[in-house]
Amino acid sequence: MNYKVRYTSGASEDLRRLFTFLAERDHPTATRARKTIAASMKLLEEFPFTCRKAEDDNGNAFLRELLIPFGSAGYIVLFEIEDQSTVTILAARHQREDDYH
């Protein structure tokens, strides 16, 4: 089964912010990070349930996190499995940022 992956405007802004932050310091590394994130998101098209459940006070089993290793840390993408055909990316952050829940 393939899922359609869509992005909230907040998630799209998160990804732009992460790229811009790194690009101002090291553009080639920022480009590699963007490619790594995009490749990792492909997993969500087929296997979103393989990602860990996000900590959620409401016990939502469909709220999940995709961990993306990159360098000495990496990125975390928060997403929700909306239904049998849609995954929605809610937020993205670097692992060294403050939490985003």
Domain annotation covers residue 101:
no
* Predicted pLDDT at 55: 78
Q: How many domains does the chain have?
A: 1
What digits encode the pLDDT tens for the residues 58-76?
667 799 999 999 988 899 9
Tokens of 57: 């006070």
* Predicted pLDDT at 8: 98
Full domain range(s) for residue 75? 4-94
Domain annotation covers residue 99:
no
* Residue linked to tokens 């692992």: 95
What CATH code is carried by the domain that includes residue 74?
3.30.2310.20
Query: How far apart are the two ends of the chain, measured CA to CA in Å?
Result: 29
Domain annotation covers residue 23:
yes
| Pairwise CA distance, residues 11 & 91, whole Å | 4
| Pairwise CA distance, residues 45 & 60, whole Å | 20
